[in-house]
Structure 1
């Protein structure tokens, strides 16, 4: 692969994942087509578990087109695509002066959820994290009562 324009701008996690796939990265390190650094495997593994794994170029382009009325910066759009906020509290720190620039932040969150729906694997990992958090909280309460 040849770099055409240096520092052309920020990349989405999907674009990084797609690049690593094109270099031969896979969940099974024995199926590697090209020599990859251990750090590239770690990046691939982390991105393959996140929101980027369920995104497509078409969904990203659709989201960028639908964001035009909000007049978001390129960096804000990339952050929203990478993080995929599911509530107003999660989108609030991603957009500078959101109160002044976006009339209804919940509408923007709904757009994110519509274009980038949560897949089954992420739901299962989210439920697992929630159950771990609940068990830690129960232990803290029990320790406080003792």
Structure 2
């Protein structure tokens, strides 16, 4: 790789992910035919689990345009894009003097992030796991309830009373 122009701009995690994909990076380390180093595959694997996986250039450009009214530094915008905070608690560490600079508009900024960017991939996984776990618990409970009397009359019949 040859550096054409040093420090020409910042890269989002999405930019790095797309670059590594274009070079042939994969989560599957068994791909021998690619020109990607093991460290590039590890970076790709990490980024694949971040919000960058679900983002698009359109999302990023839309967010950059809509958040201009908040007068955020470029690094703050980059951090928001990379981490996709979905709550006020997630925004505060990313913006210097958040209370003083944004005041009540912090909630608007969080709503903008949630509106523009897709949910974090791990959040979907946790949600799906929770649904699966709940279904399994219900099925297990139903399996355990088999053979148990459903009401007092059945209980009396079983007891012989």
TM-score tier, shorter chain, comes to 0.7 to 0.9
Match of 1:95 in 2: 95
In 1, Cα distance between equivalents of 2:69 and 2:15: 24
CA contact (8 A) 1:25 1:33 kept: no
Q: Which moved more, 1:74-83 or 1:32-41?
A: 32-41
Q: Is the 8 A contact 1:24 1:32 kept in 2?
A: no
Partner deviation per Cα, 1:17-73 (whole Å, 9 max, x = no partner): 011011111233344663212111111011112100000001000000001000111
CA RMSD, 1 decimal: 2.2
CA distance in 2 between counterparts of 1:32 and 1:111 reads: 42
Residues 1:111 and 1:8: Cα distance change in structure 2 (over 3 Å): same
What runs of 5+ residues in structure 1 fail to find an aligned partner?
130-146
Contact 2:49 2:121 in 1 (8 A): no
The count of corresponding residues between Structure 1 and Structure 2 is 129
Is the alpha carbon distance of 1:35 and 1:111 closer, same or farther for their aligned partners in structure 2, counting shifts above 3 Å? same
Partner of 2:141: none
TM-score by length of 1: 0.78
**Is the 2:84–2:120 contact (alpha carbons within 8 Å) kept by the matching residues of 1?**
no
What TM-score, normalized to structure 2? 0.71
- Does the 8 Å contact 2:27/2:42 carry over to 1? no
Larger Cα-atom Rg: 2
Partner of 1:34: 34
- Structure-2 residue corresponding to 1:138: none
- The corresponding residue for 2:123 is 122
Q: Distance in 2 between matches of 1:25 and 1:66?
A: 32
Rounded to whole Å, the distance in 2 between the matches of 1:32 and 1:72 is 43
